[in-house]
Amino acid sequence: MQNDLKTAELHLEDFLPYRLSVLTNRVSNAIARHYSERFGLSVPEWRVMAVLGGAPDLSAREVAQKTAMDKVQVSRAVAGLIASRRVQSEPDAADRRITRLSLTPRGRAIYDEIVPLALHLEAVLLSALSPEEKAQLDRLLEKLSRRIGGLVSIGV
């Protein structure tokens, strides 16, 4: 198998991780165009707000896990959101070393404006698919998500 790996040729335009990354970036940037100008939010800031809008009182580590963003991205996004008074942090009652993040009323108002827009844009994107294709896409994404954990243990 090692020899096969050394002689393998990568066709980037056919490589699934690349294709998924490009699609994700294009979708995120399309949605970001709608909220970045109006609210001055970056994509990482919106991702943090989106997570906190659905699950308040998370630590930065939990936000990083839920968004699959690295700690530095989350830290920068949180710092910007706190500075703009869209997110607040409070010490954890049980462990004062951990801070819990939540949307401020200002952050919640922005979240409540962006969510319908994001859902509308998602619906426009998905309108290219039939109901059966949407269901199949959902099943395939779930299947690939479950498989990701197995990739970590594969040694090459």
Q: Could you tell me the residue ranges of all domains in the chain?
A: 13-149
Res. 5: pLDDT tops 80 = no
Confidence band, pLDDT 50/70/90 cuts, at residue 4: low
Q: How far apart are the C-alpha atoms of 36 and 143, rounded to whole Å?
A: 32
Q: How far apart are the C-alpha atoms of 155 and 139, rounded to whole Å?
A: 27
Q: Is 77 exposed, middle or buried (0-12, 13-18, 19+ CB in 10 A)?
A: buried
Res. 34: pLDDT tops 90 = no
Look at 7-21, 45-59, 63-77 and tell me which has the smallest mean pLDDT. Answer: 7-21
Evaluate whether 92 touches 99 at the Cβ level (below 8 Å).
yes
Q: Would strands 87-91 and 99-103 be described as parallel, antiparallel, or unpaired?
A: antiparallel
Q: How far apart are the C-alpha atoms of 122 and 116, rounded to whole Å?
A: 10
In the DSSP assignment, the letter for residue 106 is: H
Read off the pTM.
0.82
In the DSSP assignment, the letter for residue 12 is: G
Percent with pLDDT over 70 in the chain: 93
Task: Please state whether 11 falls in left (phi above 0), alpha (psi between -120 and 50) or beta.
Answer: beta
Pick the CATH number of 13-149 from 1.20.1080.10, 3.90.180.10, 1.10.10.10, 3.40.50.300: 1.10.10.10
